């Protein structure tokens, strides 16, 4: 048995926005709270932004994980770090200077995350990832909750896991999209550290129980070197 402890990050995209503080409290045992920021340009959907993140931060002790699906993150991401988000993830497809952006996020006190869409290869971005703390592998096309898991992206997870386990990268590997009781085990086996789950958590009768059940499934199926 390894001492691997999977992180579960409920996505509030599937929560009831009219009762947001209660919905955050409903996942009290979660490791990270995933907040999907969409601008209607980088993705064809519009959600919430900095004012809502600023409202959530004081009402929870859970580290807030902001996933920015926006254009021009070089300009806008820093505000989320300054507000107190624990991890701020930008998309490599949108960032102009991702190395400088990571440095700015870290200087503002946040961890820096880099996300790749399902069709974006990992290989060209490995050097950039040396400047990041988190790699977010999208397992659906970003934009909406409740989509089906794209298992093909697990090859990128395996490649990232190898790079981390051999000491070539020092990122936490996070996956986002279509994670539920049927898909989390294969993601864990491929080497994911942190699992985002929206509809699987907030669609459950007891969101906190869903978090525990997902963590248990991920923990028992992961085989880690060292």
Tell me which residues touch ligand DX5 (CB under 6 A): 11, 13-14, 34, 36, 67, 140, 142-147, 176-179, 196-200
The residue sitting closest to Zn ion, measured at its beta carbon, is 67
Closest approach of Cβ 35 to ligand DX5, in Å?
Answer: 9
Check binding of 65 to Zn ion (CB under 5 A): no
> Using CA atoms, how far apart are residues 202 and 19, in angstroms rounded to an integer?
12
Give the CA-trace dihedral at 75, 81, 84, 85, to 10 degrees. 110
CA 10-137-9 angle, to 5 degrees, is 15
Q: How many CB atoms lie within 10 A of CB 149?
A: 19
Check binding of 91 to Zn ion (CB under 5 A): no
In the DSSP assignment, the letter for residue 81 is: H
Closest approach of Cβ 167 to ligand DX5, in Å?
Answer: 29
Check binding of 215 to Zn ion (CB under 5 A): no
Q: Binding to Zn ion (CB under 5 A): which residues in 96-115?
A: none
> Using CA atoms, how far apart are residues 125 and 220, in angstroms rounded to an integer?
31
Sequence length of the chain is: 226
Closest approach of Cβ 11 to Zn ion, in Å?
Answer: 6
Residue 206 has, within 13 A of its CA and on its CB side, a CA count of 7
Closest approach of Cβ 14 to ligand DX5, in Å?
Answer: 6
> Using CA atoms, how far apart are residues 117 and 164, in angstroms rounded to an integer?
20
List the one residue out of 50, 63, 82, 54 whose CA is nearest residue 10: 63
Check binding of 174 to Zn ion (CB under 5 A): no
* Nearest residue (CB) to Zn ion, 45 versus 54: 45
Check binding of 117 to Zn ion (CB under 5 A): no
- Only one of the segments 19-27, 66-74, 146-154, 182-190 lies at the binding site for Zn ion (rule: CB under 5 A); that segment is 66-74
* Nearest residue (CB) to Zn ion, 11 versus 104: 11
Residues lying near Zn ion in the complex (CB under 5 A):
36, 67, 176
């Amino acid at each position: 048995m390894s001492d691997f402890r999977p992180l579960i990050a409920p996505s509030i995209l599937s929560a009831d926005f009219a009762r947001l503080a209660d919905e955050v409290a409903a996942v009290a045992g979660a490791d990270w709270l995933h907040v999907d920021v969409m601008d209607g340009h980088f993705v064809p959907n519009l959600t919430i932004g900095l004012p809502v993140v600023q409202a959530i931060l004081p009402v929870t002790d859970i580290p807030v994980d902001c996933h920015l699906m926006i254009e021009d993150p070089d300009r806008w991401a820093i505000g989320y770090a300054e507000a107190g988000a624990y991890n701020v993830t930008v998309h490599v497809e949108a960032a102009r200077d991702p190395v400088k952006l990571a440095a700015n996020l870290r200087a503002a006190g946040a961890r820096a995350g880099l996300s790749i869409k399902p069709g974006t290869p990992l290989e060209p971005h490995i050097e950039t990832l040396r400047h990041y703390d988190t790699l977010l592998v999208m397992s659906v096309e970003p934009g909406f909750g409740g989509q089906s898991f794209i298992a093909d992206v697990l090859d990128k997870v395996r490649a990232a896991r190898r790079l981390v386990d051999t000491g070539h990268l020092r990122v936490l590997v996070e996956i986002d999209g279509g994670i539920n009781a049927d898909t989390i085990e294969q993601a864990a086996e491929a080497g994911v550290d942190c699992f985002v789950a929206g509809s699987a958590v907030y669609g459950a009768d007891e969101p906190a129980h869903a978090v525990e059940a997902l963590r248990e499934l991920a923990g028992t199926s992961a085989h880690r070197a060292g």
